[in-house]
Amino acid sequence: MIDTRDAERASRTFSRWYVAPELQMWLDKGGTPDSWLGGRTPLISYARVSADRLDGDSTGLTRQHRNNTRNAERLGCAVVLYYEDNNLTAAKAAVTRPAFHWMCQDIAHGCERESGIPVRGCVSVERERVYRLPRDFVRFQDALMMAGDGVFIEGSSVLDLACDDGLGLGLAEVDRVRTRTARSRADRAEEGRVFAGPRRFGWLGAARNPFRCGNKHRNDDEWPHLVAMIKARAAGMSWRGIAADLNRRGVGTARGGRWSEQGVKALVANPAWWGGRVLDGVLVTDPTTGEPVIGEWHHVDEELEGIGFETWKTIMTGVNAARLHRGMRREGVCPGPTDAMKVRAYLFSGVLRCGRLNDLGEVCHSKLSGNRATGRNAKYGDYYRCGDVNCRGIGRGVESVDRYLEGLVLDYLDEYFSGTTQDTTAWRGEEKLTALCVQRRAIEESVAAGKSAWGDVRDLLARLTRNIEDLGAERQEHLDAEAKRNLLRGWRREKWGSMALERRREVISCALTSVLVLPVPAGVSDKAPFDPSLLRPVWRRAAVHSTL
C-alpha cells in the first residue's frame, strides 16, 4: 500500500490507500478476498477532505469511510480498499490528487496493483468528493467504462455515469465561490481586517478555548526579537547576519526551527509589522486618501519603538528587486532567465556535508552546493561550499572532489553490483492497451471503407483515444519506476561514460548517503594540495542488501 506521509515532517496534506480493516482481519487469518466477498461486488471507498483544520487527524476521512461502508453493504457490495486524499481540493486543476489518480488506474484494470485485490468501482458520500472538474469526471467515467461493469455509488444511490455527459458538474458554482472568496479577501483587506494564514513570528496563533483570532495579538516573548530584526536590517545588517545572530541566541522560528536568510527576509519584508498589507502585489491603500490601510492587528508603535512605514520603505528599497517579497512586485520589467542565469549542476552537490564546528558549537552537517569561480579565484576552478548562516563556510575544489569520489563510487558499484541481474515486473495493462489499439484501428478502417458513419463512431473513437493515451502514460510511469528500481542491477562500468549528469547523480544517491567534508587542519593553508583523507563517505548499505 502507498502512504505519502513523512514521519519526520508532519503535514496535513497526504494521500494513501490501504486494505479495508475488515478484509485485512480476514486476510490475516489466512482467508482470501474471494471467500470474504462471497459474491458481493468489491468497491473502493474514496474519501477526500478539501481543507483539514484538525491537524491531520483524519477525522473527516474516517467518517466518510464509515458511511461508505454502510452504504455499500445496503446495496449488496463490499468495501475492500480505502483511498484517501487529505487536505486536497478537487476544484483546482493545478492540484494533483494521487489517491484519485491511483484509484482510476486500479478500477480500469479491475484490481489493486500490489495485492491483486479485485475492484469493480467506487463508493463515496457524494460525487463532489470524487470529481468537480470536467477533466476528473471524464477520467473517472472512462475508468468505470474500461472496467466493463464499473459501479459508482453516491451516498445510498447507484449512479450510471456511462450515460452522463457531465453537464451537471456545478462548475458555475465553483467559479462563483472563487469570485466570492476573492471579493471577500479584497473587502477584508480594504477594511483592515485580520487575514488568515499560518502563525507569523511575533504574533499569537489561533485558539479555540478561549477563542482567539490568529495573527492579531502580539507574542510578548517574540515581539522584541522581531523589532530587533527590523532595526538591524534598517541599520544595514545582512539577512545572513541577522539569521546567524538569532540562531546563536537560540531564538526559534514560529515553528521552532532555525532561521535562514529567506525566513528573515520574508518576515521583515512583510508590511504586517507596521500594520500594512499587500494584496495581489499591491500595497492596500484607502481609495479616498491614498494612504496605506492600517490593519486591526497589533503592530509597532512608531513613537515608542522607532520604526514604522518609512522604515519599511527604506528596507524594501534595498531588497533585491528581481525577486518577489511577500507579494511586492518590482516596478518595471523583470528580465526572464537566460542560459547564463541558470544554476549550474554539479555531480556531488547535496551529497557533501559540512564537517566544521559552526557558531553554535555543533557539527554543521549542512549541504555543500557547487559554485562557479569568478574574479581572482577563477584560476582555482569551481568549488563546493557550505552556505549555512552559522558556519564560516567550508569549501573544496570541484575537480579534485569529483575525481576522487567518482573513483570511489565506481569501485563500490563494481564490487557490489557487477554480475547482478535485473528484476523487472511486467506492466499489468499491456493486453488491455493492445486490445484498445486493435479496436480503434478496426473502427477507423470501418469508417475508411464506408461501413460506418463518422458521426456514429466519433464519440467512441474519442473515448478510445483518451483511454489509450491514459494507459500509455501509465505504462511510461511503470517503465520509469522499474528503471529506477533496477538502476544498479546489472551494473557495468561502461555505462557510466554514457550517462547524463542527472542519471549519474541518481546512481550516486543510490550508493552514497552522504560524504562528510572535514575542515583543513590548523596550520595548513587553504591552498594546500587536495587531501582525500578529509572526505568521509557514508555508504548506503540498504542498496547492497536489496541485491543479495
The confidence score (pLDDT) of residue 325 equals 38
Alpha-carbon dihedral sign for residues 218, 224, 227, 233: negative
Closest by Cα among 265, 405, 286, 425 to 349: 405
The confidence score (pLDDT) of residue 164 equals 67
511: left (phi over 0), alpha (psi -120 to 50) or beta: alpha
The confidence score (pLDDT) of residue 399 equals 92
Compute the distance between CA of residue 218 and CA of residue 301 in angstroms, rounded to an integer.
12
For β-strands 352-354 and 512-517, DSSP reports them as parallel
Compute the distance between CA of residue 510 and CA of residue 488 in angstroms, rounded to an integer.
8
Compute the distance between CA of residue 400 and CA of residue 420 in angstroms, rounded to an integer.
31
Closest by Cα among 90, 114, 91 to 102: 114
Burial class of 307 by CB neighbour count within 10 A (0 to 12, 13 to 18, 19+): buried
The confidence score (pLDDT) of residue 118 equals 94
Closest by Cα among 476, 499, 475, 477 to 488: 499
Closest by Cα among 229, 193, 184 to 214: 193
Terminal Cα-to-Cα distance of the chain (whole angstroms): 24
CB of 324 within 8 A of CB of 334? no
CB of 351 within 8 A of CB of 391? no
CB of 111 within 8 A of CB of 105? no
CA distances from 410 to 5, 180, 416, 505, 515 (A): 34, 59, 10, 13, 15
The confidence score (pLDDT) of residue 278 equals 86
The confidence score (pLDDT) of residue 441 equals 94
Compute the distance between CA of residue 114 and CA of residue 515 in angstroms, rounded to an integer.
35
Local mean pLDDT, 10-residue blocks, the chain (548 residues)? 70 89 94 94 94 66 94 94 92 91 94 92 93 90 88 90 61 62 69 75 86 88 94 90 91 90 91 88 84 90 90 81 45 40 70 89 88 82 88 86 94 89 88 94 91 88 92 92 85 88 90 92 83 92 51
Phi and psi (nearest 5°) for 396?
Answer: -150, 150
**Rounded to a whole number, what is the largest CA-CA distance in the chain?**
90
- Residue 210: asked if its preceding bond is cis (omega within 30°), the reply is yes
Exposure class string for 310-335: b at 16+ Cβ within 10 A, else e: ebbeebbeebeeeeebbebeeeeeee
Q: Is 21 helix (H, G, I), strand (E, B) or coil?
A: helix
pTM for the full predicted model = 0.66
| CA 297 to the chain's CA centroid | 32
Give me the sheet containing 395-397, strands edge to edge. 368-371, 383-386, 395-397
